[in-house]
Structure 1
């Protein structure tokens, strides 16, 4: 039988043996027009599908049953591989109770660029046992593991599909697997679903679809729609009309689901989920695969929030990501993007180990918009001023003084708690199209440290924006690929300084980056930033915290077993301890950035370039240039501290008044450079 329009037929049971050819993503910079469009939130993007489209596609897929067993298919949106990355790993999607295999319908087009994607379809009439499905998926995993030994195999499973993924991983600890578990059904014994199968026996068909649990399962928090409408301040008449329109649009979808989820199929799947949960929970100790659990806090079917924490403690290589506003069918909900979640957690790789440089995927307009939204409040209260220096030494407002091509090393002062990072990276990208890649403290990438963070996804946006662990190898790769690299010689000691140390550089005595930059002929761009003292006053620094009883316990948790930086340094820089800082907000002032005159490490001709590189290989010459860069950074900050005194709009109240007169989007003036 020909497959419906939503899918492409695929041979069964083996997966394709050859990867599709693809093209590598652009690196280094956006076009300025694309960055501008993204910042306005109007950049072109693929249409996002939802519950209604899922139901229509699922009904079309199952309306002509062929009596066949479970099989793999590749969605048409994922076929061809024209835009797929070279060496893309295989992703196998394992569906939940519905079994159709279209649960990623909103994500097909984006995932198809990152993975060779296949979905498992379990026909409505199929009664293959849980063990049978595990063996079927296991055969595909082994086939892919043999075909591409240097790449992982991704298993994305929701509810019962997550149980299948865990079972396959427990039985195959030697295969390189990455598990993405979406509201896993391992908590079945604690959920409402345990009693639902008994209740369904008492409900005649088709009324089984009207139970609150299934309505929630099928429509994504459908039962919360009335309270949402009321919460928006609608009148009773308006709320009634809105609810009527929603119900009218959903009822056809619910009736269509009779073909997809007949009562007998649901009862069978719930019994299988009970078996699956027990089977997997007894074997969690055997799971060695890298695992990411995505948990919806508004999941009304499963206690996914608590289950995610349990799995994180039970599994050796597990991270969790919480989604406070999403329900059980998170994969069909509008604001969730699976590819972004995988990127943010640092779980995308195309080889045996993650390469933070070559595995990085460029920002999408949606991701850039999220990054902008992430710092919107800071951007609003700090209203950054950006200045740059032209080759002739003239200082201008804007970024016209930055070089047009990489490689380049942007070196400067690390403000308290890194307040400058968001405005710096997003502001440069929006204005010039230059995508800065930051060298970040390994703490941001440490799975163990996530457990003690208030939010385990706290540093995800840094990874999405392109931050990599600070190592010589990553620095080398970024320069080799002609990126703009953000480097803070003062590191954590500078960003977590003590009281009275604002705007003081804590740089090592010896050069760390000059000779590497000269090897690639990279331009060094010193920059200064001031304004932390305009938005907060420090109340407790590290010295104060160490005087608090029992704080030493938290200090050990934050700093023990972590990667040690600059072990060959002396003094304070040798021990760059991570610690919180307690600060009190002030009536906001303003942030000021200035990029100094670019310093070339290469000559204007091939002969001069060779001579310049040879000069900077000499330690004494490199040290001289290093001290010159440090002096330029200090001069930049001195310039800003003096000039900001002449800014009539330094105070937020003056800026608000200006925007009330000229419009909220008006660029607020500043001092004359």
Structure 2
């Protein structure tokens, strides 16, 4: 790509960034009417210097959109999401929109540079694998032992804020099982389509037999920050494992709590007749 093309692309990304955040600043009344459940914003470090660690869902988009939106509404900062390496292979408008919204390829060098600059960073340790859930795996963290996020946070003394979203694994009903005949049969084509090695294509349905998403209320919770400064009497390897496990444990707890809260919510399926009786954060948090 020549220099002129790079300059033009940078201008387009800047224009898209301005448009995206201009819209975000104006849709608060719509967001309020949608009754998205969100709590724990008081836990966010006020300087914006922290690493958000979240769970992906089969829907994919709610966590990617809602976490940055509510952090920006609370603190006025842009969240820099660490995307899969497929972002580097994207071209055209799709890539420019992702970059305008704050996404960068999630390699260690990029993440380290963002932290050196004191940016707010978001990562989903499970990556694409966390979205590709099969029957019975709803709200499970499919991290495959990954702890790179903990290593980065420790090396830059970044507190970790676990953030869980419930609702995204319910917009589709998952029909197939992991290691079942269909999943094994589709692993080759699945890798070419979604880029995750050794994982087939989940079969899902939405409303009735269609692919229309089932109406679901979204529930979002930001947990208390997890300190990452390594004690002097603890080795780097042991501390990295401890931080990773503490984050995973906190996020699992958030997901369990939100599912329990959702179970008692008459508005969980967005029934307009139950709008006024929707569970509210002020009734659940101290």
TM-score class normalised by the smaller sequence:
0.7 to 0.9
Distance 1:421 1:626 in 2: 21
Residue 303 of structure 1 aligns with which residue?
none
Matched, 1:583 2:195: no
Distance 1:373 1:580 in 2: 37
Distance 2:273 2:52 in 1: 29
The answer (yes or no) to whether the contact 2:134–2:175 under 8 Å persists in 1 is: no
Deviation readout 1:363-399 (Å, 9 max, x if unpaired): 42x222456899x99x6997421111xxxxxxxxxx1
The answer (yes or no) to whether the contact 2:133–2:202 under 8 Å persists in 1 is: no
Residue 66 of structure 2 aligns with which residue?
423
Q: 129, 141, 146: which is aligned to 1:493?
A: 129
* 3-state SS in 1 of match to 2:148: coil
Shift of 1:594: 1.0
Shift of 1:515: 2.7
Q: 354, 361, 367: which is aligned to 2:20?
A: 367
- CA distance change for structure 1 residues 461 and 370 in 2, over 3 Å: closer, same or farther? farther
Q: Give 5+ residue unaligned stretches, structure 1.
A: 1-150, 155-176, 181-291, 293-337, 344-359, 389-398, 451-455, 563-573, 603-611, 660-666
Deviation readout 1:446-475 (Å, 9 max, x if unpaired): 14xx6xxxxx64454322111011101011
Distance 2:138 2:84 in 1: 20
Distance 2:70 2:129 in 1: 25
Q: Which has the larger radius of gyration?
A: 1
Q: 408, 416, 420: which is aligned to 2:50?
A: 408
Q: 137, 147, 167: which is aligned to 1:531?
A: 167
Distance 1:439 1:415 in 2: 16
Shift of 1:634: 0.4
Deviation readout 1:43-69 (Å, 9 max, x if unpaired): xxxxxxxxxxxxxxxxxxxxxxxxxxx
Distance 1:502 1:484 in 2: 28
- CA distance change for structure 1 residues 369 and 179 in 2, over 3 Å: closer, same or farther? closer
The answer (yes or no) to whether the contact 1:381–1:590 under 8 Å persists in 2 is: no
Distance 1:415 1:599 in 2: 23
Aligned pairs (5 A) from 1:35-46: none
Matched, 1:632 2:259: no
Q: 222, 228, 238: which is aligned to 1:601?
A: 228
The answer (yes or no) to whether the contact 2:191–2:199 under 8 Å persists in 1 is: no
The answer (yes or no) to whether the contact 1:541–1:582 under 8 Å persists in 2 is: no
Distance 1:480 1:578 in 2: 38
* 3-state SS in 2 of match to 1:400: helix
- Using structure 2 for the length normalisation, give the TM-score: 0.78
The answer (yes or no) to whether the contact 2:38–2:221 under 8 Å persists in 1 is: yes
Shift of 1:407: 2.6
Distance 1:613 1:520 in 2: 14
Deviates more, 1:578-587 or 1:416-425: 578-587
- CA distance change for structure 1 residues 656 and 430 in 2, over 3 Å: closer, same or farther? farther
Shift of 1:535: 2.8
The answer (yes or no) to whether the contact 2:191–2:200 under 8 Å persists in 1 is: no
Shift of 1:412: 2.0
Deviation readout 1:406-458 (Å, 9 max, x if unpaired): 431111211114232112212221233132111111113314xx6xxxxx644
Deviation readout 1:339-370 (Å, 9 max, x if unpaired): 3xx32xxxxxxxxxxxxxxxx89942x22245
The answer (yes or no) to whether the contact 2:216–2:269 under 8 Å persists in 1 is: yes
Shift of 1:651: 3.3
* 3-state SS in 2 of match to 1:473: helix
Distance 1:468 1:615 in 2: 35
Deviation readout 1:487-539 (Å, 9 max, x if unpaired): 11111111111122111111232532223212221111112211124433234
* 3-state SS in 1 of match to 2:118: coil
Q: Give RMSD over aligned pairs.
A: 3.8
Shift of 1:638: 0.8
Distance 1:556 1:634 in 2: 28
Distance 1:652 1:426 in 2: 21
Q: Give 5+ residue unaligned stretches, structure 2.
A: 208-212
* 3-state SS in 2 of match to 1:526: strand
